Amino acid sequence: MAINAKKMAKFCRPFRIVLGLALIAAGYFTGIKWFYLGIIPLVAGIVGFCPACAITGQCTIFGKDKEA
């Protein structure tokens, strides 16, 4: 089941980019390597592909299925 970039809510992409950058920055400044997993939401936001949406078949930010 393929989810395209249009399916991702308009709020999701910038939120994921900011979240990814924040997690990577936290990892850099604290030295905790687990924060570098922020690359996942960062890439998801840049590319416009949501792995969670692909698994579930819908984008459920705030419980709403957004059709763009």
pLDDT digits (tens, 9 = 90+) for 27-59: 999 999 999 999 998 998 888 877 777 787 766
Residue that wins the pLDDT comparison between 24 and 44: 24
- Overall number of domains in the chain: 1
In a domain, 2, yes or no: no
> Dmax over Cα atoms in the chain, in whole Å?
39
Token digits of residue 46: 């840049």
Q: How far apart are CA 54 and CA 32, in angstroms?
A: 29
pLDDT band for position 62 (50/70/90)? very low
Give the per-residue pLDDT at 38.
92
In a domain, 45, yes or no: yes
Other Cβ atoms within 10 Å of 8 Cβ, number: 22
What is the reported pTM? 0.66
For residue 2, pLDDT beyond 80: no
Give the per-residue pLDDT at 10.
72
Q: Using alpha carbons, select from 48, 46, 47 the residue that is nearest to residue 66.
A: 48
In a domain, 37, yes or no: yes
